[in-house]
Structure 1
Amino acid sequence: MTQRRDTRRLLHHWREAVPNDRLAHLIRDVARAQMRALQQRLSRHGVSFGHWTFLRILWIHDGLTQRELSELAGVMEPTAFSALKAMEAQGLVERRRLPGNRKNVHVFLTAAGRALEQRLVPLAEEVNRVSVEGISAKTVASVRRCLLAMIENLAADEAAQDSDGKA
């Protein structure tokens, strides 16, 4: 119930209070609304949004090191450690060192963690469908191209900033 009110308040904010606010804020708010919608669905399966992020990565790249996983998830290593410890306690992942490398801890899905993919991915697909409802496929494709171009622009700017800082 609170989530619906939050999203309605967000809609009012953008349509009436600050319709011309910065694009970055709008993008952030859309992402937050999508995350809330997904979290609502995931919670019915006992999965937090934070765990979803790690599961999603592991479904594609099982066996990553904890460090690689934290980098791909965009979280600090202590945050990843805590989440993975909880996921291990839930029987979703196992952490282990591989023979010949005692330093790195690798994370592997258990059968239960792997099985969640079939139940949870459709929930994310549903949120995507809901979020673009009533928007033409052409417009969705255009928005996708624009957002990717924005990422490319920001990546180029980041590289330029990095090279400026090293000189």
Structure 2
Amino acid sequence: MGMDYWQQRIDDFWESAQGKDAAALRAELGILLEPAIPAGHAAFELASLHDYLGEEVQAIPLYKTALDSGTLSRAKRSEASIQLGSSLRNIGEPALAAKALNEVDPDDPLYADAQAFLALALFDAGEESAALKTALAALAPTLQQYAGPVRRYAQELEDCRPPKNR
């Protein structure tokens, strides 16, 4: 009954979360976050619940605690960085969101996911050209025939930034 056991129970919790009210979700997760779960993982799951319930302000310090714990797997670190970035963006902190999202390495399986949220954060920060460049660069590897030209056009975007009308 090691990590796989409690992680499966947490995964089952998330799979069945839709449609349940906040009180039921809090109670269920409270039971699942048994003392055997490392504190960093517990903080991540609790942050995720706050996030899921639209309580980004409460989620943010818990994501930071989880990331600072040093106990998250690489995959969970990436998830925490993305979810932290999304929460920061949602409360109007796009620069801090971008910093969190840039923590996901290019060789990470969730890199494109992080780049999608980074594009949103850059757009919110008024950096439309950088946002479009980020989105196109993330999209390019998935293109069937025109990846090369799209990459080149994305690269050119930073060279010809239109004036801001703000």
Bin the TM-score by the shorter chain. Answer: under 0.3
Q: Structure 1 length as normaliser, TM-score?
A: 0.26
The structure having more radius of gyration, on CA atoms, is 1
Give the structure-2-normalised TM-score.
0.26
The answer to which structure has the higher strand fraction is 1
The higher relative CO (CA closer than 8 Å, separation ≥ 6) is in 1
